[in-house]
Chain A
Amino acid sequence: MKVLTLLIKKEIKIALRQRLIRIMAIIIVLLLSTALWAGYITYNQQQENVELAQEQRRIEWLHQIDKNPHTAAHYGTFVFKPKTLLSLFDFGLDTFTGTSKYLEAHYQHEFMFRPAQEYSSTIRFGQLSAALVFQLLIPLLVIFLSFNSFTSERENGTLRLLMSQHISYGTIATGKIAAILLILFSLLVPLFTVALIFSNNYINANVIQDLSFRILLLLVLYALYIVIFVSLSVWVSMLSKTGRNSLLILLSIWVFFAVIVPKTATGLGTQLTPLPSLKIFRNTIADDIKNGLEGDLSASERRKELEKTYLKKYQKDSLHQLPINFLGISLQAGEDYAAKVYDHHWQKLEQTIEKQNAISSWASFISPYIAIRNLSMALTSTDVNAYFHFHKHTEVYRRNLVKKMNMDLAKNSKNGEFFEYKANENLWKTIAPFAYTTTSVNRVIASYFIEIVAIFTWIILLLFAIYSYSKKIKASYV
């Protein structure tokens, strides 16, 4: 243990003496600070805009003039995607998912205004965020810290010296890994500790659930990522004859992990399972509503059935004798069927996107960067699932709004009436203001099983590789 402590101290001293490492560390800290500062500013700007817009739309809904409730459902309202507090750390997909959505009767609109549309082509190079620093730049610092951890000892002849003092190869490797981890954790832990303290005491983050737990998991996630890169770098250094070779191999691996695999995996996923365009998607839905899904009746047949059911229910001969306005019932039945058709097609669409992204998920076994990127986005609620979840939430809100309006029309007016009946603020008030909270962290973790397995597989394989190589070397020295 004493030897290990000495080794760790020695490694830390050597690392801190290197000018390149010091410069790189300073640059990374500066970039990290800038990213967090900029993330905070943009989070505040966007959150303020969203809150104000949501409030305005709410006032507009409540203060609309008296009108037929179905017309009110047609005018509808708007919802805006709130920013999650953790998005200031990882912007994730927020720049590429729309920010607002129009909710009205009969139609499920797509999101409007992807922030990325407001930038020049440069946006496709990426945005500076703390997550980008952790995912792309810290691994480079790890590489520079460890590429010559063994090669320099070998080139200087100190490795043989250490081993002649009965220090095992495994102990040397452990000492080197521990020293580099200590240096990097000294960057990582304070940042997340401050974030944890703030999340517990000062910040009101009502959009995101389990904030502190998420921060803690992010800390664990990035710590594991660093462990992967440190182990990989030390292992490559063990195998390489010269520092130059080790550096070249590690830099090539970094490019492969961070640039080549993510692009090719996503490109492949998109080509294998293409998405339909909105127009075709909508036309298919419209056709299915008109003709009915397989085994269902057509729109005109459904309407006749509905008429029969209601006439039988109230034991009347004609719609005009009904004590309710059949138009409202019919409109709601149309909504319900349209919702069924939409869910059927949306589920298919969601499955296609999931299939596209599954290739990326499996690519986590080729590049740990992808696993970390996906999990980081998930924990900050800026991933695809957060987008789907928000979409579903808005759809539930829309359906509830439209149903209340249609049923009010049915209950409070007579057959043949439309413009004659007007609802007022009392009805508008029954629609609760739009509020959104992300899913729980447990559900998030469950959706990224492949990535979690990939991370642990990487760690186990790398530690095993270091262990078995150490044993082999020990044997050769004996």
Chain B
Amino acid sequence: MFSVFKIIIKNEWLHFIRNKFQIGLLVGVLILGVAAVFNGILLVNSQKETIAEISKIESKEFQGYEDAFKNEITNQEQKRHYTNATNPAFAWHRHTYNAIFPIHDYASLSIGQLDLNPFYFRLTGMSLYYQIFENDIANPLKLFVGNFDLSFIIIYLFPLLIITFTYSLYAQEKEQGILPMLKLQTLGVDRIVISQWAFYFILITGLALGVTLLGLLCSGNILKADNQYPVFIWLVGVFMYCSFWFGVMLLIIGLKMSSAFNAIMSLGIWLVLLIVIPAVLNIWVTIQYPIDNTPLAAISRRNSMDNENDPNEAHQIIQDFFRQDPRYYRPKDSVSNNLAAKAYAGLTSLQDIHNTLHVTTYRHQVRQRDLWTKKMNWISPAINIQELFNQVGHTDVSSYQHFQQSIKIFHDQITAFYFKKLFWDKKIQQSDYKNRPVFRLVEGKTLRFYALMDLGKIVGAFFLFATIGWLLLKRKNT
């Protein structure tokens, strides 16, 4: 029995290497795969370069403040530097920090929403909402077309490769009149077809895994603790996704129709799963969960007191602020120093407090859309696997929402750092700079269970389709 299998596989191999079109296709996809890996790496590297540059600018700025303590003040410029470094009345809105989204090593393989959302924010102690809604510069056409990354190659092109290589199994034998001869074999037509199918399964899935491994090796250290889980998900995910498509093809082959029918049917499924369903889901979610972001625009305004020279108004604002945030409370008669700065600081913080509800509601609406789409993922393994790749590379919506939550915490740390000095009439000391706020991403909940569930759905679909396909092949031959 084994020797017969060996002969079938050997024949199929010979058939394959003689077919220049098929070899060309494989090589073409392989080249595109490698190009996609490096395209993703280049994109992420350019973001990392920006991050490095931004971090450098921030370090230089704060080094300048620290140096202001060391230098003797001999001119206006040095005096200005010293004031900026020591006086919280200026420092709270002039010192600029950066909240930078930590880009995962494997973000380059599935860029997801990374190019769509800003990956860093410049922050001062001023109103948070004035600073976090502006988008980074981007070419909208590029955003529309999407990224040429490894996930695109795996999700879009490998199913087409699988279809091209397997759609005519059995049908071709029938159309070329070889089927009656095959039926004479002791092995049975179903096993011969399964052997051919298995040959292409190993060949194409092996290629997909090879390209993926190359991508994983080029994008990061696969042994690094943070990377081990993504590496596992990528490899298992690619294997399962290819398996799913082979399952679909076995089912279509099992129907024993003409090769033209098989081609139309399989491409039809590809079209439905990769283009029609996602397109319909997107429009459906738009209607089901409408989001109006226009009210948020108004809260991103720079604002100040109605009359900056009116001490009564300033005191009123400061007292309102103390009621909302008692951490900085001082009796009314001890806030006269730097009154305008304190009132302005209080005002922007009050605005943030009042507007938090709008922002939370907006983010909740986005989250609802995301959750609904996640629930519907089972309809298309393509969406399912894309979401999974984005999750492990931290380029999905949830990861970005964690980033936004972290920014709020960071901004609170920035204001706390300066407001304690400002409202308590203290100068900023050189030693304070050692304890200045540093951005840290809040750890999100682990999604490993859901990721395995997502993979489970694909595995389930594969077994279902492959079993039906095999039974169909077997049944009609008996």
Contacts and interface: CB of A to CB of B under 8 A. Distances in A.
A binds B: yes
Interface of A: 20, 31, 34-35, 38, 41-42, 45, 49-50, 52-53, 56-57, 60, 65, 67, 71, 74-76, 78, 80, 92-93, 95-100, 102, 104, 109-129, 132, 136-137, 140, 144, 148, 243-244, 247-248, 251-252, 255, 259-260, 262-264, 266-267, 269-271, 274-281, 283, 349, 353, 356-357, 360, 383-384, 387, 419
Contacts of A117: 113, 116-117, 366
B373 A125 contact: no
Contact of A360 (B141, B365, B382): B141
Nearest to B25: A252
B365 A270 contact: no
B280 interface: yes
10 closest residue pairs by CB, A with B: A125-B278, A267-B148, A53-B294, A128-B279, A100-B297, A96-B143, A120-B373, A266-B145, A113-B293, A93-B140
A347 B309 CA distance: 41
B369 A118 contact: yes
A377 to B, nearest CB: 9
30 contacts: A35-B283, A56-B298, A65-B306, A75-B304, A96-B138, A100-B294, A112-B296, A114-B135, A114-B143, A117-B117, A118-B293, A119-B285, A120-B373, A122-B383, A125-B278, A125-B279, A125-B383, A128-B280, A132-B279, A247-B260, A248-B263, A251-B263, A255-B160, A262-B145, A263-B148, A274-B46, A277-B120, A277-B137, A279-B57, A279-B120
A78 B292 CA distance: 15
Given A117-B116, A266-B148, 18 more contacts: A45-B290, A57-B298, A65-B306, A104-B302, A112-B134, A113-B133, A113-B293, A113-B296, A119-B285, A120-B397, A124-B386, A125-B274, A247-B260, A262-B145, A264-B32, A267-B148, A280-B53, A357-B141
B301 A102 contact: yes
B370 interface: yes
B54 A279 contact: yes
Contacts of B35: 264
B373 A99 contact: no
Given A119-B282, A244-B168, A244-B263, A124 B146 contact: yes
A98 B143 CA distance: 12
Contacts of A128: 276, 279-280, 282-283
Contacts of B138: 96, 275
Nearest to B300: A102
Contacts of B278: 122, 125-126
Interface in B242-296: 258-260, 263-264, 267, 271, 274-276, 278-287, 290-296
Nearest to A420: B309
Given A42-B286, A50-B294, A127-B279, A263 B263 contact: no
B303 interface: yes
A384 B135 contact: no
Contacts of B66: none
Contacts of A384: 139-141
B448 interface: no
Nearest to A251: B267
A384 B141 CA distance: 7
B156 interface: yes
Contacts of A122: 278, 281-282, 285, 373, 383, 386-387
A349 B298 contact: no
B141 A78 contact: no
A93 B141 contact: yes
A32 to B, nearest CB: 12
Contacts of A65: 306
Nearest to A97: B140
Contacts of B133: 112-113
A128 B283 CA distance: 6
A383 B116 CA distance: 17
Among B53, B282, B395, find the residue whose CB has the most chain A CB atoms closer than 10 A: B282
